[in-house]
Each structure stands twice: as structure tokens, then as C-alpha cells.
Amino acid sequence: MDLYLNFVRPLFFSGLKADPEWMHNQFIGILANLSQRSQQPGFHWVCDRLYHSYNFDDPRLAQTLWGIRFRNPLGLAAGFDKNGEVGQLWGGFGFGFAELGTATWHAQSGNPKPRMFRLIDDAASLNRMGFNNQGAAAMAGNLARVGHADNTTTDRAIAIGVNLGKSKITELDDAAEDYRQSFEQLHDFGDYFVVNVSSPNTPGLRSLQDPDRLARIFDTLQTVNKTVNTTLKPNRQPADDSANSQLQAKCTQSKPILVKIAPDLSWEAIDDVVNLAQQFDLAGIIATNTTISRDNLKTQTIAATGKPIADEAGGLAGAPLKARSTEVIRHIYRTTNGTLPIIGVGGIFTAADAWEKLTAGASLLQVYTGWIYEGPNLAKRIMQGLLDRLDAHGLERIDQAIGLDHR
Ligand SMILES: Cc1cc2nc3c(=O)[nH]c(=O)nc-3n(C[C@H](O)[C@H](O)[C@H](O)COP(=O)(O)O)c2cc1C
């Protein structure tokens, strides 16, 4: 019996009637506390229990991409741990990696509340958070505490992605500089970085997907990457010597940069972004962010505001996004002959959903809404299902499933 599905979810979704964002913040607060104290005896025990309850390790699920080891292909999507407060502890829930942020250079409070909604009849969520976050410097401080696995648990270490957005107060013409400041500030703390130009909740942000503007951002960040060996200094206060040596190792590397795109782009616009990504040697594409489409929803009214769904601003995620995000993955894989790695995200709830995105062309996967609906056993269930599918197809390793539909 799954405790989450039978007791916790009904209580959270219907019983308590609490604001989803408030509940989210309580949950993050608890995990942040646990993560920061994970070396203290009682807390260490809890982290250990977490790991043993929800983790699922199998070497067939591991792969190395961009020189980074991913112990399994399922990551936590950006937006869940916006300030990097939980960090490595996400591995305790069975994730192979976690993408933290979106961080902006300036701290900002985001859009007026309420701004996070569940559409239960559609297995979906709607949000217009607006990049509420403590800013890149605060995130760097948080990640210095919780972003690295210590020596006793290195086999449990997960890769950390850092997702960067433009500050609301920064003019669109100055976007490249805004991203650059965040990238430099956080450079030592992420294994990979994401240029987020696809949130529908910051005015004008998605226009940064236009080739000219995007080229300026990519060029600026890759220039930082090229000069990092000589100019960037560690800006983190390591907790101890082992963290210090890890930091020194990370500091000398240029970091893989990906771009996260919206599902609402036309095929031509997607091709433009892909061409630019290749031109500027980006590491890959994240497909996709939330959608502004409201097609085919059962939910007609948002109860918390009383307004028709069509009148509510924000990005829709979860089941209604699944088909479109897979279509975008398939298109990018086909047009690039699988040469540009894709992180597939949008509407993953089951192993079948995960397999569909892998075989369409995604190298790695992420989940947000599915985790809210399915709970902490989700990663384990998906891993087991992926292994079953590898067996059924006579495949030995997960990377052999990537883009299988195209062969
Ligand atoms: C409440 C909420 C907040 C989000 N915040 C961010 C964010 O800050 N940055 C980002 O790149 N994506 C953000 N996303 C988008 C997710 O990372 C993901 O791309 C999208 O939700 C689709 O995945 P899903 O169907 O598994 O939810 C957010 C999504 C939700 C539901």
C-alpha cells in the first residue's frame, strides 16, 4: 500500500484545503533543515532511512554525459528547489540529479499570490510564480552548505544543475549581462547550467528565444566558460578540506550549458534555437517548460480565484503537456540526428511516460508535477519500469534506449 497515494495526497489535495504554495514552502523548509544538519547523528539517521526507502540503484540505469555521472536518468525539474536549499538530499528520493533554481541575479519576490494551482481533474498544475528567489549570491551560499556530497556518501552523490533566469528589473537588452553575473557567481556550484528563456511568467522573457538576443547570451556565457581557468576565483566558503579539494577540481572546468525552451514555439523557432545551440557549442536542450495553451482541459474554473481557466495567466504543466513535450523532443532528436543531448520534461507520471520520452530522443528526464501527484515512490517505480522495458527490448543499458524510436 502506498501511504502517499492513499493518505497523504487526499489530505493535502482535498482535506487541508491549504494553499499549494504554502504547503510547498513547508515541505522545502523541512527538507532544507534536514539537508543542512545531515551530518548530525539523528538527522543522519533520517537521511539514511530516506535513502533506503526511496532509492533504487542499478548500474544499467547509470550513464555519463558531459563528463558527469548520472546514476539514473530521472531528475527533479527546476522550480521545486528555487534557492538550492535542499541540494544533495534530493538524491534521497531516488533522483539521479536535481536542477535547482531558477535563480536570478537580483533577489525578487515574484508575482502576487495566489500563483500556484492544482488542476486535479487534469493531473496538472498552473503556476505564475515569476521567478521568486533569493538571488544568485544567496543560492551560492545555500549550495556551499548542501550542494556537495561529503566523503562518506559519495556513492550517493547526485549531479546538480543550476537554472538561470533574467531578473525582472533588468531590461531585455541587458539580459546577457544579467545571466553572466549569475553564471559567474554560481559557476563553482553546478555540474551543468541552464539558460531559462522560456518561463511565461516574466514579462518579455520568452522573446529572449529570438536568435539575436539568444546569441548574445550564449556568446557571453561561453566566453566566461573559456576564461574561467584564469580569471574566476572560488567564491564559496567550503565547509571543510574535502569540500575545498572538490571545489578546486570544479573551478578549473568549463561547465556544460543547456537552454530550456517553451513548448509553444513553432518548429521554425525551435530549429533556430537548436542551430544557435550547435553554433555556440551548447551541451543540450531542455524540452520543455510549461505551456500557455489551455486546450482540452476538463477544469473550467480555478476554485481559489473563481475565474475561468482561460482568464488565468501562467504556465500549465503535467499530463496536458506530455504529448507536446515529447513531440518537441522527437523533432529535435530527428533534426540533429541525435547529436545534441536533450533533457525531456513535461507530464511524466509513469515508467511508460519516461520510456516514451527516452525512446523519442531524451537522454535524461525531469519531473515536477508528476512528483506532486505520485509522491516519493515515483522515482523507484519509474526505475523498476525502465529496467523491465530494457529487458523486454533486450537492451543492456539505459543509453541504448535513447532515440530507439528513430532506429
Ligand atoms: C510551480 C512550478 C514552478 C516552476 N518553476 C520553474 C522555474 O523556476 N524554472 C524553470 O525552468 N521551470 C520551472 N517550472 C517548470 C518545470 O521545471 C517543468 O519544465 C514543467 O513543470 C514541466 O514538467 P512537469 O509536467 O513534470 O511539471 C515550474 C513548474 C511548476 C509546476
What is the predicted pLDDT for the residue at 239? 45
Give the Å distance between the CA of 290 and the centre of ligand 1. 6
**Ligand 1 close to Cβ of residue 77 (< 6 A):** yes
Averaged over 17-27, what is the pLDDT?
A: 92
Identity of residue 357: K
- Residue 229 pLDDT grade (very low, low, confident, very high; cuts 50, 70, 90): low
Averaged over 197-222, what is the pLDDT?
A: 94
User: Domains of the chain, with CATH numbers?
Assistant: 3-406 (3.20.20.70)
What is the predicted pLDDT for the residue at 250? 47
Averaged over 226-237, what is the pLDDT?
A: 56
Angle (CA) 350-124-126 rounded to 5° is 140
Give the Å distance between the CA of 80 and the centre of ligand 1. 7
Cell of residue 348, nine digits: 511524466
- Residue 150 pLDDT grade (very low, low, confident, very high; cuts 50, 70, 90): low
Residue 159, phi then psi, degrees to nearest 5: -75, 145
What is the predicted pLDDT for the residue at 245? 52
Q: Which residues are catalytic?
A: 199
The distance from CA 90 to its chain's CA centroid, rounded to whole angstroms, is 12
Please, what is the average pLDDT of the chain? Answer: 92
User: What percent of the chain is predicted at pLDDT more than 90?
Assistant: 85
3-state secondary structure of 194: strand
The answer, yes or no, to whether residue 195 has pLDDT greater than 90, is yes
Averaged over 320-333, what is the pLDDT?
A: 98
- Residue 149 pLDDT grade (very low, low, confident, very high; cuts 50, 70, 90): low
Q: Given the CA of residue 345, which atom of ligand 1 is nearest to it?
A: 23
Distance CA 54, CA 307 (A): 38
**Ligand 1 close to Cβ of residue 370 (< 6 A):** yes
Averaged over 75-99, what is the pLDDT?
A: 97
Give the Å distance between the CA of 77 and the centre of ligand 1. 6
**Ligand 1 close to Cβ of residue 348 (< 6 A):** yes
Give the strand order in the sheet containing 116-119: 116-119, 124-127, 315-318
Give the Å distance between the CA of 247 and the centre of ligand 1. 29
Number of Cβ atoms within 10 Å of the Cβ of 201 = 24
Averaged over 4-23, what is the pLDDT?
A: 87
**Ligand 1 close to Cβ of residue 163 (< 6 A):** yes
Averaged over 104-108, what is the pLDDT?
A: 98
Averaged over 104-123, what is the pLDDT?
A: 97
Higher pLDDT, 256 or 13: 256
